[in-house]
Amino acid sequence: MPVTSVQLYVYKVQAVNVEVKSGTYAIISCVIVGITSLAAVEWVGPSGTDISADSNYTPDPGTLDGDSQTATLEVTGAAVTEDKTFTCRVTSGQFHSSPSSDTEVLLNVYGCSKDPKFTFTIAGNTVDTVKVGGAVTVSCASG
């Protein structure tokens, strides 16, 4: 009986989630490891939205560095308003008909406005913003 050898090419995609203040510029990324040629990367917006023509987003597929590639998505401050989940869609650059791999990448956003009569203190440090759901001590200022 003849023997057929099949070589499998397997890669891994790791999400690099970030947490940023509302209204600030952000970069999220995914790292593709275990590749021998540049992979094709497409970024998909929250709920599957197409962000390719949206000027608030700038994708960069990255370059091959050894056996890895880091793809990034720059997000303008105008689009950093709430927590969002993006999809890093990776397809083999060598085997174009192979199925893509989707990895969720999180953009976590924090911030709140406060009345100047209040100060926020976390671990003894006064701060201007607090992550929603975070623990704070609120003190009234005189006046």
- Give 40-51 pLDDT, tens digit per residue: 999 999 999 999
What are the tens digits of pLDDT across the range 33-90? 999 999 999 999 999 999 999 999 999 999 999 999 999 999 999 999 999 999 999 9
pLDDT of residue 143: 47
Q: How far, in Å, CA of 126 to CA of 138, rounded? A: 10
10: which DSSP letter? -
**Quick one: CA dihedral 118, 121, 125, 130, positive or negative?**
negative
In order of 1, 8, 91, the CA distances from 87 in angstroms are 45, 25, 13
**2's torsion region: left (phi>0), alpha (psi -120 to 50) or beta?**
beta
Band of the pLDDT at 96, cuts 50, 70, 90? confident
